[in-house]
């Protein structure tokens, strides 16, 4: 019977699903008294096994109602079973309890969770719907955070080395006002002006260089040399020139975002082929007409690549620049001061704010790119 179930599961869900069913079944069939340190009572054992049994039944029951044509449903069932089992295991570990048999049973349960969620992501990745494309990165990120929580709590890692995500979340919720002030100082006052000035000037200079060959020969090598300069060398100089407030941080961002935009825009302007240019010349099109109607539209994917790259570089540059002098605000200032006080959970909360801001700006630019360059082959599904 067990062999038949595993064979059916292997064909439907692959080897990861078969391993997950085997592990879950082994946990369900453990003797009564499933927790170490608890009395071996049949009633308590059954009650204790109920959540795990629900996860196993959910997964095994899906085999009877799901066919290979319903790939999305298969992925949802596998992911749901993994999530339910993951919640049970996390609650046990947080309470200092493990399954009967010690750490090996908890390790098997963790293996089952990873196998179930992994198989769910693999199935959902083959679905072309928008919700499935959003579910896969959310499941993957959630799995990484979950493993971080399990390892930090299960191995009792000192918070000064690696705080658990739950501790970081508590710190985040308790210091929303301070994190908001730091976000405004770094992102709103430094990153956005520097990003706009650096990317805009890089784009305009690229167009000027494309028009003037001598500028291309003179400015482009100089730009490559300056872009290779380390940020830790630029930031102190900018602080000396522009002071300790946001102007010096915006200047660092300008330097970091100018040359990626310059190089990518120049590459994009060369995409238009000789046949297209000859066609524009046959219509007696001027240089501005050729630029606006042929070359700039073809360069848009390159321009957006530079914008997405600059959205992360700008935030990194502003945060690092705040290490060398800033008012008593800002994400870089907060990271440096809280590390000195060994308040690592606050540091991770600030890092979370920076990660969310960077991801949001990158996603907004990617959405704008998809809207404006829907005609490009890279955007066609």
* Ordered DSSP codes for 311-372: HHHHHHHHHHHGGGS--S-SHHHHHHHHHHTT-HHHHHHHHHHHHHHHHHHHHHHHHHHHHH
Residue with tokens 């001027």: 286
Q: From residue 140, give the alpha-carbon distance in Å to each of 79, 117, 145.
A: 11, 8, 9
- C-alpha 319/C-alpha 238 separation (Å) is 14
Looking at the domain that runs over 172-375, which CATH code has it been given?
1.10.3720.10
CA separation, residue 97 to residues 39, 86, 179 (Å): 13, 14, 35
pLDDT of the chain along its 381 residues, tens only? 445 444 545 554 454 555 555 555 555 444 333 444 443 333 344 445 445 555 554 554 444 344 444 566 667 777 777 777 777 777 777 766 554 445 666 777 787 788 878 888 887 777 766 777 788 888 888 889 888 888 888 788 888 888 888 888 888 988 889 899 989 988 998 899 999 999 999 888 888 887 777 776 767 677 667 767 777 777 788 878 887 778 888 888 988 898 889 888 888 888 776 776 767 777 777 777 777 777 788 888 899 999 999 998 899 888 988 888 777 788 888 888 888 888 888 999 999 999 999 989 998 998 888 888 877 776 665
pLDDT score for 17: 54
Looking at residue 136, its pLDDT comes to 83
Distance CA 153, CA 12 (A): 35
User: C-alpha angle with apex 171: 317 to 175, nearest 5 degrees?
Assistant: 75
Token pair recorded at residue 285: 């099109």
Q: Kindly list the domain boundaries of the chain, sorted by start residue.
A: 2-156, 172-375
**Res 57: pLDDT:** 47
Q: Which two tokens stand for residue 120?
A: 């769910």
Element (H, E) at 264: helix 246-269
Note the CATH number of domain 2-156: 1.20.140
Q: Which of helix, strand or coil describes residue 183?
A: helix
Task: Give pLDDT, residue 21.
Answer: 54
Instruction: Give yes or no for a contact between 303 and 268, defined as CB atoms under 8 angstroms apart.
Output: yes
pTM listed for this prediction: 0.72
């Amino acid at each position: 019977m067990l062999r038949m179930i595993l064979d059916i599961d292997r064909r439907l869900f692959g080897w990861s699903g078969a391993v997950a069913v085997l592990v879950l079944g082994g946990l369900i069939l453990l003797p009564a008294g499933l927790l170490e340190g608890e009395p071996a009572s049949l009633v308590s054992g059954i009650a204790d096994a109920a959540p795990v049994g629900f996860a196993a039944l959910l997964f095994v029951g899906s085999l009877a109602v799901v066919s290979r044509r319903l790939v999305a449903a298969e992925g949802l069932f596998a992911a749901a079973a993994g999530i339910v089992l993951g919640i049970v295991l996390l609650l046990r570990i947080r309470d200092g309890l493990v399954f009967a048999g010690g750490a090996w049973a908890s390790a098997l349960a963790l293996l089952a969770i990873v196998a179930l969620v992994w198989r769910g992501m693999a199935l959902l990745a083959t679905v072309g719907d928008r919700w499935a494309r959003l579910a896969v990165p959310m499941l993957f990120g959630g799995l990484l955070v979950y493993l971080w929580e399990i390892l930090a709590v299960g191995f009792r890692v000192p918070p000064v080395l690696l705080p658990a995500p739950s501790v970081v979340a508590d710190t985040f919720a308790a210091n929303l006002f301070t994190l908001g002030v730091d976000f405004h100082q770094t992102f709103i006052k430094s990153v956005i002006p520097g990003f706009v000035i650096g990317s805009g000037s890089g784009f305009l200079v690229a167009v000027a260089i494309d028009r003037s060959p001598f500028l291309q020969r003179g400015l482009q090598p100089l730009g490559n040399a300056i872009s290779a300069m380390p940020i830790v060398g630029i930031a102190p100089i900018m602080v000396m020139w522009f002071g300790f407030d946001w102007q010096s941080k915006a200047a660092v961002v300008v330097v970091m975002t100018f040359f990626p935009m310059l190089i990518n825009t120049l590459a994009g302007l060369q995409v238009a082929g000789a046949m297209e240019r000859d066609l524009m010349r046959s219509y007696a099109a001027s240089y501005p007409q050729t630029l606006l109607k042929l070359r700039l539209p073809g360069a848009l994917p390159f321009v957006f690549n530079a914008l997405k790259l600059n959205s992360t570089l700008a935030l990194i540059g502003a945060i690092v620049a705040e290490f060398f002098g800033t008012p008593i605000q800002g994400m870089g200032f907060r990271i440096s001061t809280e590390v000195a006080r060994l308040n690592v959970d606050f540091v991770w909360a600030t890092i979370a704010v920076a990660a969310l801001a960077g991801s949001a700006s990158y996603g907004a630019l990617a959405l704008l790119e998809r809207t404006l360059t829907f005609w490009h082959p890279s955007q066609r599904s």
